Amino acid sequence: MNIHLSHETIAAIVTPLGEGGIGKIVVSGPKALNMANDIFEGKHIKDLCNAENGKLYYGHIVSGNQRIDEVILNIEKQGNSFTGEDVVEINCHGGIRILMRVYELVVSHGAKKETWEGLAAQALENNQIDTIQKEALPELVAARTKLCAKVLLDQYNGALSRMLHECLDITKQMECTSAERPNADEKTILFLKELTHSIDALLNTAPFGMALISPQAIVILGKPNVGKSTLMNAVLGEEQMIVHHEPGTTRDYASEYISIEDIPFEIVDTAGIRKTEDTVESMSIEMTREQLGRADKVLAIFDNSKPLDHEDREILDALKSWKMAKEYERQRACTIIPLINKTDLPAQLDTKIIESEIASPVYYISAQKKEGLDVVYKKLVGEFNTCYYPGTPVVFSKRQLHLLSGARRMLETAAFSAAARQELRNIFNECLWGAIY
């Protein structure tokens, strides 16, 4: 963290760049009001230092005698703003040229260019927010779905922080009734169970929270001409992939973001895996293996109208290798969903072999007719509880997961010792404030 941020006046564009109705610039710091005075002509106010807290002011941004844009200013005085500094929110017209011109004008009057993260760092330094809220803020701006925005807004408003403060309170109460193993009293044991239950509840939210922030990768895998691109188009609901009867049409991988029950995913269409002497196709197959390596879920697709052949067996071998490799990582669930495509054609495929090799039931679809996909969607989100209740604390970063996992391991070993209780407090404080207190 930059320890000088609270003594600087910073400016950040806080709306996405591009054409839009409104563009917002936030100026925060001890000179924010004076800087705004230099470039703002208000209709009913001459000196923004006399502005009422939380009131909107209409006027124009000016450079010399030239009016740059018609704006509305929102003033938040020190102590009342989310950064803890004087804040001026400049609401401009959303065109990128106007927005950047106003931004550069603010910077030319002494403000330091910053980002959302800089504003959050200033708020953290002034004890307006904690580290968890600081992490939630930029992710909230980049939220891909409504559910993601709801969850992150709750965490920014303190849902996870409150739960961690409760955990800290429990460790303090344990200190008051401290006793060493095996002579811990009944009250301490109850505190220990309560703390364990709270941490387990938080850890159980991590797959959901992290999937919202870092969408899981779904790789479509299968031999050439099995219907991978047709499936991709069916999922996307539009014709984006080239579909042709000639095997090997897809020479590169293609990825798009989708939302299933408001959970974001990255779906990747790949070239088929097979032996080939074609140099370009060999490179494509290597890319497929690379994409498979980073996959969280695999849609393994097989042709219902043809017997299982050596190319299908190469796919099965690749899937078994992938699953073994993922067992060493296991930070989030890895799932293979075997799909039997072209169910509108006479069946010649022995699906029992596939079920035995993958240790999973198969799902029947017709990608061309978009049949059977609802069951696939349910399988993809099956590990997540999408019935989100407002205000629920959710773990959403690797940092949080790492620290809380460490706390959980401690509870299994030396939770009654004085040193362990102190270490637990350090973990909770680090999770909240980014440093051991």
What would the pLDDT profile of 213-241 be if each residue is shown by its tens digit? 999 999 999 998 899 989 999 998 865 44
**What is the pLDDT averaged over residues 184-199?**
85
DSSP string covering 6-50: GGS-EEEE-S-SSS-SEEEEEEESTTHHHHHHHHEEESS-S-GGG
Beta bridge partners of 264: 259
CB-based contact 38:56 (threshold 8 Å) = no
CA distance 303 to 316: 13
Summarize pLDDT for 269-282 with one digit per residue, the tens: 887 665 555 555 56
DSSP string covering 163-224: HHHHHHHHHHHHHHT---TT---HHHHHHHHHHHHHHHHHHHHHHHHHHHHSPEEEEEE-ST
Residue 170, CB-side half-sphere exposure with 13 Å CA sphere: 24
CA distance 435 to 437: 6
Answer yes or no: CATH 3.40.50.300 is held by domain 215-380. yes
The reported pLDDT for the residue numbered 67 is 95
Q: What is the crossing angle of helices 351-358 and 310-329, to 10°?
A: 20
Q: Which residue has the tokens 């992290």?
A: 210
Nearest Cα to Cα of residue 362 among 375, 348, 345: 375
Percent of the chain with pLDDT over 70: 86
Residue 80 binned pLDDT confidence (cut-offs 50, 70, 90): confident
**What is the pLDDT averaged over residues 342-355?**
94
**What is the pLDDT averaged over residues 386-406?**
94
The reported pLDDT for the residue numbered 85 is 94
Is residue 109 pLDDT above 80, yes or no?
yes
Q: What are phi and psi of 63, to 5 degrees?
A: -125, 105
CA distance 394 to 387: 13
Q: State how beta strands 56-63 and 40-42 pair.
A: antiparallel
Q: What is the crossing angle of helices 159-176 and 146-156, to 10°?
A: 40
Is residue 184 pLDDT above 70, yes or no?
no
The reported pLDDT for the residue numbered 29 is 95
CB-based contact 25:102 (threshold 8 Å) = yes
Burial per residue of 401-424, b for 16 or more beta-carbon CB atoms within 10 angstroms, e otherwise: bebbbebbebbeeebbbeebbebb
DSSP string covering 283-346: HHHHHHHHHHHT-SEEEEEEETTS---HHHHHHHHHHHHHHHHHHHH-SS--EEEEEEE-TTS-
The reported pLDDT for the residue numbered 242 is 38
Residue 1 binned pLDDT confidence (cut-offs 50, 70, 90): very low
Summarize pLDDT for 111-153 with one digit per residue, the tens: 999 998 888 889 888 888 999 999 998 898 889 999 999 999 9
Is residue 40 pLDDT above 70, yes or no?
yes
Percent of the chain with pLDDT over 90: 60
Residue 325 binned pLDDT confidence (cut-offs 50, 70, 90): confident
Mean pLDDT for the chain?
A: 86
**Residue 143 tokens, joined:** 């939220």
pTM (2 d.p.): 0.79
Phi-psi region of 183 (alpha: psi -120 to 50; beta: other; left: phi over 0): alpha
Instruction: Give domain 5-128's CATH architecture.
Output: 2-Layer Sandwich (3.30)
Q: What are phi and psi of 401, to 5 degrees?
A: -60, -45
Low-confidence winner among 49-58, 235-244, 293-302, 363-372 (lowest mean pLDDT): 235-244
CA distance 330 to 335: 11
Strand order across the 363-364 sheet? 254-260, 263-269, 216-221, 297-303, 335-341, 363-364
